[in-house]
Structure 1
Amino acid sequence: MKKFVSMLVCVLIFASLFAMTVSAADLITVGYAQIGAESDWRTANTESFKSTFTEENGFKLIFDDAQQKQENQIKAIRNFIQQEVDYIVLAPIVETGWETVLGEAKEAGIPVILSDRQIKVTDDSLYVAWVGGNFLQEGYNAVEWLDGYLKENGRENEDINIVLLQGTIGSSAQVGRTEGVEKLLADRPKYHLLAKQTGEFTQAKGQEVMESFLKSYDDIDVVIAENDDMGYGAMEAIKAAGKVPGKDIIMISYDSGRRAFEKVIAGELNVTVECNPLHGPRVAEIIKKLEAGETVDKIQYVDEGVFDIKNAAEILPTRTY
């Protein structure tokens, strides 16, 4: 009897281990090379992937934080290739310099999906799809909102001086937003772009650059910050200079996290142009279609809006980031 029980226990243990092995083998392994954690937006983006790519949903996620360095992302991708992941997701820090490592992924037969920022490559078969915001349109949205705001406040005939806090130079978010803003400003002779400089998408650098702008120009009417965090830094610099952000200087930023909504409601931020960070579910959907042998669209934009004092209070309770 004892021998039988012992054998039964062994069988049950073996069966359990076999089931676990089969279960693990059935998971789709995804390597995600993230940029870093430079902003509220990036934190929400990371959480979107971590909460989506779970074992319960049929995935195993290998996450790597590049800490704002492209060489770290390249190293991460090569590690993913060595680990023979099923898919690689890349949020590229800058647009260029990816040909070699993505060629290695292609040679290994590992599909690459881009999230957030885009890349410039001579062979677009190096990635299967890109998910993110329409950065050029986001640039347009900021200037078009400013048109309406000035008209509503009887200032449409005034000369307006603008400074631009740019994101990481060479990133597709910076490139698209800057291009959109500058293109529309060029069509509006009463808008004057006094200066532009990168704040590297961080609050600390945004504050530093804004302090420099305020020392150089005493007649700034508008700040356009290419993300909310740089906008928060600019607010601190404006307050330190004895001015009121949102009142003395019109504040425009991008991303639309919860803190930005709170700043809009408080009157310190006039508008935040959305860049939706919740890419995880869309990327998971793409992977499942590829697993089923389906084709997917190369470019996939996420839905985005524009939020100011007219709609921020109503929308805030629904925000998940």
Structure 2
Amino acid sequence: MLKPVHLFLTLLTMLLLQSCSFGAGGERLPAPQAADPIRGITSEMYRTIGPPPTRIVLGFSQLGTESSWRMANTASIQSAAEEAGITLLMENAEQSQEKQFEAIRSFIRQKVDIIAIAPVVQSGWEPILQEVKQAGIPVVIIDRAVDVKDNALYVTFIGSDFFEEGVKAGKYLLDKLRNQPGPVRIAELQGTKGSTPSIDRGEGFRSVIKERPDLKITQSDPADFTEHQGYAVMKKLLEVPKQEQPSVLFAHNDDMAIGAVRAIEEAGLQPGEDMIIISIDGTRKAFEQMVEGKINAVVECNPLLGPLLMQAAKEIMAGRTLPKRMVPQEDIFTKEMAGDELARRKF
């Protein structure tokens, strides 16, 4: 029988190495089998370690409730903590880094065993992480990265490869337009300014589309990862002469894309036909809109990180070494694939 740590490392290696690619028509090509891309790591993995000698107390600073993705992420962490027998102290920062600092200092005063942080932005974390280090509390960064000079300030980062998500979106667009001459005008709805996913997704997308100089991002504005702002910003972007309107929309998350779809329809355009729409997250709402033909493709960003976070917490408390980066398996889906996949969506 595999020892628990060996089982964890084996399954984690499978998770990190899996990849999936697609043909020109959007069909899924065969790939090695591993954990389901939506279910991620199952609760069976952390059950193998067994209960710790004393109940672990985990302080978690969640950045907010700005999107369907975020709410699914929170629910995953809450349910995984309960199943793993870990006491979860969670604070909602409501998109404020200052509130995150306050929550972290509160966790230090309460002498929690581990602190997990989903940072609202990636800069400005070194001083507070130094405080946590001085208190002798290990830190796990989840979802979004932090920009610090000393990576020893945290044990591991659990989260998606946002740059690669942007790359996938760009590759889809190149494939979609391979027989269509330019120029092509692209509108971009960014997420929260200064956040890791917004920065990396934009850079990944640009790194691919630069292969075609006739593809131009002519409009790019932040919409804060919310449906309301996606609608408002897209409505404003369409207030230009028809010849200046974009024919492609790249939205950094589904909520913004869904808001933008409404603005596009109000402008008398047909989303998914008059304008190619590419989004990131993979929520049920986005899949429903793909089934309706309103969104062309969605790059998955898996929010169900709770089991992996609880597994990491148990490993840390057991004194075991973890990889510095843990990336969940993720996929890309086109509207042709959406109908079959919709029933499997967990969020």
- Tell me the TM-score normalized by structure 2: 0.82
1:217 CA drift (Å): 5.2
DSSP-derived class of the 1:253 partner: strand
Question: Is 2:240 the counterpart of 1:240?
Answer: no
Moved >4 Å (runs of 4+): none
Aligned with residue 168 of structure 1, among 169, 189, 192: 192
Give the structure 2 partner of residue 224 of structure 1: 250
Query: 1:147-168 CA deviation, whole Å, 9 max, x = no partner?
Result: 22223xx42x232110100011
Given that 2:169 and 2:205 are in contact with CA atoms closer than 8 Å, whether structure 1 keeps it comes out as yes
Letter in 1 for 2:137: I
Give the structure 1 partner of residue 218 of structure 2: 194
Q: How many residue pairs get matched?
A: 295
Question: Is 2:69 the counterpart of 1:41?
Answer: yes
Alpha carbon RMSD of aligned pairs, Å?
1.5
Give the structure 2 partner of residue 272 of structure 1: 298
1:112 CA drift (Å): 0.7
Aligned with residue 204 of structure 2, among 175, 180, 184: 180
Deviates more, 1:136-145 or 1:214-223: 214-223
- The whole-number CA distance in structure 1 between the counterparts of 2:161 and 2:310 is 20
Query: 1:159-201 CA deviation, whole Å, 9 max, x = no partner?
Result: 2110100011111101110111122222211211111110011
Larger Rg: 1
1:242 CA drift (Å): 0.9
Question: Is 2:132 the counterpart of 1:108?
Answer: no
DSSP-derived class of the 1:133 partner: coil
Relative to its length, the structure with more helix (as a share) is 1
- The whole-number CA distance in structure 2 between the counterparts of 1:232 and 1:260 is 7
- The whole-number CA distance in structure 2 between the counterparts of 1:112 and 1:150 is 44
Letter in 1 for 2:129: L
Deviates more, 1:161-170 or 1:209-218: 209-218
- The whole-number CA distance in structure 2 between the counterparts of 1:237 and 1:113 is 39
1:314 CA drift (Å): 1.3
Letter in 2 for 1:76: A
1:26 CA drift (Å): 2.0
Larger relative contact order (Cα-Cα within 8 Å, sequence gap ≥ 6): 2
Give the structure 1 partner of residue 102 of structure 2: 75
Question: Is 2:239 the counterpart of 1:215?
Answer: yes
1:24 CA drift (Å): 11
Given that 2:295 and 2:335 are in contact with CA atoms closer than 8 Å, whether structure 1 keeps it comes out as no
Question: Is 2:171 the counterpart of 1:144?
Answer: yes
Give the structure 2 partner of residue 203 of structure 1: 227
DSSP-derived class of the 1:290 partner: helix
- The whole-number CA distance in structure 2 between the counterparts of 1:228 and 1:310 is 18
Query: 1:93-143 CA deviation, whole Å, 9 max, x = no partner?
Result: 001111111111111111110111001111111110001111111011001
Deviates more, 1:137-146 or 1:185-194: 185-194
1:38 CA drift (Å): 0.5
Deviates more, 1:185-194 or 1:34-43: 185-194
Assess, with a 3 A threshold, how the Cα gap between structure 1 residues 200 and 34 changes in structure 2: closer, same or farther.
same
Aligned with residue 32 of structure 1, among 60, 64, 69: 60
Unaligned runs of 5+ in 2: 1-50
- The whole-number CA distance in structure 1 between the counterparts of 2:346 and 2:232 is 30
- The whole-number CA distance in structure 2 between the counterparts of 1:259 and 1:233 is 11
Aligned with residue 292 of structure 1, among 307, 318, 333: 318
- The whole-number CA distance in structure 1 between the counterparts of 2:139 and 2:193 is 23
Given that 1:26 and 1:58 are in contact with CA atoms closer than 8 Å, whether structure 2 keeps it comes out as no
Given that 2:171 and 2:209 are in contact with CA atoms closer than 8 Å, whether structure 1 keeps it comes out as no
Query: 1:44-94 CA deviation, whole Å, 9 max, x = no partner?
Result: 00000000011x522100011101111011100000110100011100000
Given that 2:165 and 2:204 are in contact with CA atoms closer than 8 Å, whether structure 1 keeps it comes out as yes
Letter in 1 for 2:256: M
DSSP-derived class of the 2:58 partner: strand
- The whole-number CA distance in structure 2 between the counterparts of 1:192 and 1:179 is 14
Query: 1:227-284 CA deviation, whole Å, 9 max, x = no partner?
Result: 0000011111111111111111111111001111111001111111111101111111
- The whole-number CA distance in structure 2 between the counterparts of 1:191 and 1:259 is 28
Unaligned runs of 5+ in 1: 1-22
Question: Is 2:81 the counterpart of 1:53?
Answer: yes
- Tell me the TM-score normalized by structure 1: 0.89
Question: Is 2:317 the counterpart of 1:302?
Answer: no
DSSP-derived class of the 1:38 partner: coil
1:25 CA drift (Å): 8.4
Assess, with a 3 A threshold, how the Cα gap between structure 1 residues 217 and 60 changes in structure 2: closer, same or farther.
farther
